[in-house]
Chain A
């Protein structure tokens, strides 16, 4: 009943604005920043889950939950550590620093940024720093995407301090936590398309000196109850419908691309020489391909459909395989994951789907693609209600044909909250830091 009513709600969003969306994700081993060292190309030991607190559930705070993900471990599939941040600020996404020693995690509501040490002992992350000055120093709120550059962290935000709308920008911090620069999302016309100023994801192709950004919605939308939001026709006009091409070196926007339907996660193909990226537009349920033409200009073109757009499946997170030949797409409303064959990125073909739960959002896959992890929560005010409000981490094995359940953690039963973004770590094995050896 609840699910049915929410499908109706989301259908209304699409009808009203044809460009609204829903959030989610940066996550897995294949979607890390290209500047991150030590990719885990074998078995990950731990999956860290940035989890939204729920009032009255456990301590009610946002927390980093660490789950043992190594089948050879005695605690496989079990929670081995939690770090509560002592408050509830709409925990959402996180990202490694370039040396993979630290995880930066943000709150969309309170705009706080937490830095966890996951390098010293990945089984027991420690909160080492809180950064609270983002709104005051940048006028941006809603830190969403954490994207490593050498020695610094580029943060894509969702909103601003002035009107809490979708016009926003990016903030650049050094790894010590000091603000270096801020960059407004463009609102002028570039390449014949007017910028909407909205932000969401960040993805860089160093070989092309190109940074891509996508667009979602401001705080006044993402922090509202979905039922209230869709009744507000004016608010429903305020969702992103653009992507922006930036010159990475100068951090200047060079092109605005029209991508209606709230383009969310961006994934560059990781195959050498394959300079294309793909994204999913949440409200229109379409896949878009971004590539460069012979004249040097970039273009975005619709190349595929996810599920039945009339039923508003609401694609949220996507995950590309390391070879760039396959793409996982999670659709929130029907709790289903879809696998697309990307052998021809101009014509993605869905070859597999499986219902995972009453709702799903984030998806992370191992580098070899053999293990896939999914979590359930979208946003505190957008998750389903009642019995459909399942909150879980579910792990699967993938043999190229079908998903086989591996383990599951019930985040409600464990009194943890709403699980969202995931990142992997591995033990250091036979190496020690120079600092540890000096002690």
Chain B
């Protein structure tokens, strides 16, 4: 119990540092002109459960999606490795990197959280391409940041559909797909039971709020593990 209190206190200390009214996120971040609610003072409703699927990791090993959307608090996003939209994948990963750097300040919190990126262009983003891409982000051994792709577009479509993640591709005059993909930037916050609890689109991608939402789920998880008598 004492350990729980210390851990929660440490967690809250880290999260409290993210409650200042001035956002320290990149200049291109959405405007945030309010002080976020403290972790645990509000409830995030369960939006939907995540359907299972089989994807591929950076080593071309089959991975059940449920293995990476349950058991930890997960931030999941869709991306493609060659995206250069400044308010697209690079912005999302910049925000996630900022969050990762804050989360790893607390070892237990870091072990309770993971990030997952799923490529929406399995034709280009092979496991090898993912491995090269991951080298730029999954660099902290204290934190689990995974990247996934699919064997084919057909294998990916049910996952996109489940998350409501629309992806379109520009075609040339003959109707052939180009490398210009369009997808609505969304980051999904998933609890340890595999339920989506928040969805951040660009207008919502406020790092302090995201950190406090993670803290809310973390405290919820701890409360279940150590129920108050």
Contact = CB atoms under 8 A, between A and B. Distances in A.
Interface residues of A, number: 40
Interface in A401-439: 428, 430-435, 437-438
A438 B177 CA distance: 10
Contacts of A438: 153-154, 157
The listed residue with most A CB atoms (<10 A of its CB), out of B48, B163, B186, B203, is B203
Interface stretch (A155-163, A169-177, A282-290, A367-375): A169-177
A167 B177 CA distance: 52
Contact of B168 (A150, A273, A432): A432
Interface of A: 34-35, 37, 97-99, 101, 119, 149-152, 172, 174-176, 178, 180-181, 206-210, 247, 249-250, 252, 272-273, 275, 428, 430-435, 437-438
B186 A151 contact: yes
Given A151-B164, A249-B36, A434-B153, 17 more contacts: A35-B204, A150-B201, A151-B163, A176-B164, A207-B31, A209-B32, A209-B209, A210-B34, A249-B42, A273-B31, A275-B33, A431-B169, A432-B171, A433-B167, A433-B169, A434-B120, A438-B153
A210 B34 CA distance: 9
B204 A99 contact: no
Nearest to A119: B166
Contacts of B48: 151, 174, 176, 178
B42 to A, nearest CB: 4
B131 interface: no
A206 B120 CA distance: 27
Closest 5 CB pairs of A and B: A150-B199, A250-B42, A207-B31, A151-B199, A431-B168
B167 A430 contact: no
A206 B196 contact: no
A20 B172 CA distance: 56
13 contacts: A34-B203, A151-B47, A151-B48, A151-B163, A172-B45, A174-B48, A176-B48, A207-B32, A207-B33, A247-B42, A433-B166, A433-B168, A434-B160
Contact of A434 (B36, B157, B164): B157
Nearest to A207: B31
Contacts of B47: 151-152, 174, 180
Contacts of A428: 168
B67 interface: no
A255 B47 CA distance: 26
Nearest to A247: B37
A272 B31 contact: yes
Nearest to A98: B201
Given A150-B199, A151-B196, A435 B170 contact: no
B177 to A, nearest CB: 5
B164 A430 contact: no
Nearest to B168: A431
Contacts of B32: 207, 209
Which of under 10, 10 to 19, 20 to 34, or 35 or more describes the interface residues of B? 35 or more
Interface string B134-168: 00000000000000000001101100110110111
B182 interface: yes
A34 B31 CA distance: 12
B46 A35 contact: no
A180 B195 CA distance: 12
A37 to B, nearest CB: 5
Nearest to A275: B33
B169 A249 contact: no
Contacts of A98: 184, 201
Given A151-B48, A180-B46, A206 B168 contact: no
Nearest to A206: B203
B164 A209 contact: no
Given A151-B48, A249-B37, A437 B169 contact: yes
Nearest to B153: A438
B17 interface: no
Contacts of A434: 120, 153, 156-157, 160, 167-169
A152 B30 CA distance: 20
A208 B33 CA distance: 5
Contacts of A178: 48
Nearest to B187: A150
Contact of B37 (A250, A273, A432): A250
Nearest to B198: A150
Given A207-B33, A249-B36, A431 B170 contact: yes
Nearest to B120: A434
B199 A101 contact: no
A126 to B, nearest CB: 16
Given A180-B46, A250-B42, A207 B204 contact: no
B157 A435 contact: yes
Contacts of A35: 201, 203-204
Contacts of B175: 432
Contacts of A433: 166-169
Given A35-B201, A272-B31, A209 B154 contact: no
